[in-house]
Amino acid sequence: MTLLAGNARANEAQPQAEYAYYGFEPEIVTNYISNRKKLGFVRVSVELMVKSPDDLLMMEHHDPLLRSAIVEILGNQQEEQIKSMTGREDIRRECYDTVNQLLKQETGEARVVNLLFTRYLYD
């Protein structure tokens, strides 16, 4: 019992994170490298989980740069990557790493905690 009470007090002492989410509007739509004769496209809703609500203004300011990087990553994918679950996770991770790298270059700090695909459609 004492151990649980000690953990509860330790959790109270730590400040709770105030994460916020920044969503790209409108959704990201781009073509990808298709094995078929017709053009393939992917439509993605992306949400950036940031460390603080104060970071939302910074995300809005850098929206065009971050959006462009995500479009480029998606557009350079092969059809197999776009359509597989493991490929989708690899793409998400590459987008996350690239977004944080760009933010670090522009602001000196990587503020994105996670990048989520809340909608992911392809043809």
Q: What is the pLDDT along the chain (123 residues), one digit of tens a residue?
A: 444 444 444 445 555 679 999 999 999 999 998 887 778 999 999 999 999 999 999 999 999 999 999 999 999 999 999 999 999 999 999 999 999 999 999 999 999 999 999 999 999
At 82, list the tokens: 């776009």
The structure's pTM equals: 0.83
For position 15, what pLDDT does the model report? 58
Contact 68, 98 (CB under 8 A): no
Annotation: CATH topology of 20-122 = Tetrahydropterin Synthase; Chain A (3.30.479)
Domain boundaries, given as residue ranges, for the chain: 20-122
Contact 86, 8 (CB under 8 A): no
User: What is the DSSP track for 55-119?
Assistant: GHHHHHHTHHHHHHHHHHHHHT-BHHHHHSHHHHHHHHHHHHHHHHHHHHHHHSS--EEEEEEEE
Of 8, 17, 44, residue with least CA distance to 28: 44
